[in-house]
Amino acid sequence: MNPEHPFEQMRRALAITKKDIRIYYAKGPVVIFGLFMPLFLFLAFAVGNRGLSAPFLVSGLLAMSLFFTATAVSPVIQPWEAQARTLERLLAAPITMRTLVAGDMLASLVFTLLIAAVPVGIGWAAGAPPLHPLALLAGIVLGAVCFSAFGLLLSTPPTNTPSNVMMLSSLVKFPLIFISGVFVPVEELPLWGQALAVCSPLTYFTDIARYALLDTHTFPVIADLAALAGFALLFGAVAMALHERTVGGRI
């Protein structure tokens, strides 16, 4: 089959996905960073704010778990590959940079969806089952796609040093947690905080999670879903374009 054929490129993207999951995602530290760190961070917040309902806590935990898992490894896969000299071999194969990025993004998406089941299960056990399961499922899928694309966008600087990308990633990710309604509802933020919250994709997933578990929301649910889809398309397109431009500086 012609290696340039879309179906052949799709098959190769799936091969990259399997490779990423086996080498990078199926590791204890990724699970810890994606699940336990958000859990302990949110428990620390909950201890100092007694009286919060279980659905509120679970919705915040789900938002952080989805966000941290999707962006835990995806920003550093290509720097790691470049440092190990395996990126050159991948690029020498008959695949496009778009195929490579799509494979990395799909690996992040699959792993994120699997981890998302854990906080949802915690919610069931804590007496906070989803009131709107279809909205929650749609939000989880779109949120996982959006945050996975965001992780790939963070990996675009032309460096083969993973620590540099991790530092940039942390500088971007952690402020988003505090302006996206995870700890404090958006409507209770100051005006400057609300203005920043509108620019964060995490805000819209958190709003969907609150609607699904608490039946309360800041924005219309259809607007939340549309925002996540729009951010996902934007992040994915920009990530692919930038990776094609910066790959030369990485290898």
pLDDT digits (tens, 9 = 90+) for 235-249: 999 998 988 888 777
Taking the C-alpha atoms of residue 187 and residue 185, their distance in angstroms, rounded to an integer, is 6
For residues 174-191, b (16+ Cβ closer than 10 Å) or e, as one string?
eebbebbbbbbbbeebee
- 54-70 vs 133-154: helix axis angle to the nearest 10? 30
Q: Read off the pLDDT of each residue in 197-207 and give the average, rounded to a whole number.
A: 94
Q: Read off the pLDDT of each residue in 145-155 and give the average, rounded to a whole number.
A: 91
pLDDT for 142 beyond 90: yes
What residues does each domain of the chain span?
6-250
CA torsion, ordered 55, 59, 65, 68, to nearest 10 deg: -150
DSSP state of 199: T
The pLDDT value recorded for residue 1 is 46
Mean pLDDT rounded to a whole number for the chain: 84
* pTM, full prediction: 0.87
Residue 64 banded pLDDT, cuts 50, 70, 90: confident
Taking the C-alpha atoms of residue 222 and residue 61, their distance in angstroms, rounded to an integer, is 22
206 and 214 Cβ atoms separated by less than 8 Å: no
The pLDDT value recorded for residue 178 is 87
The pLDDT value recorded for residue 230 is 96
Candidate ranges 36-40, 74-78, 116-120; pick with highest mean pLDDT: 116-120
Taking the C-alpha atoms of residue 70 and residue 247, their distance in angstroms, rounded to an integer, is 22
Taking the C-alpha atoms of residue 64 and residue 35, their distance in angstroms, rounded to an integer, is 8
- 54-70 vs 162-179: helix axis angle to the nearest 10? 160
pLDDT for 200 beyond 90: yes
Q: Compare 131 and 128 and report the one with higher pLDDT.
A: 131
Burial of 129 (0-12, 13-18, 19+ CB in 10 A): middle
The pLDDT value recorded for residue 127 is 82
Q: Read off the pLDDT of each residue in 35-45 and give the average, rounded to a whole number.
A: 69
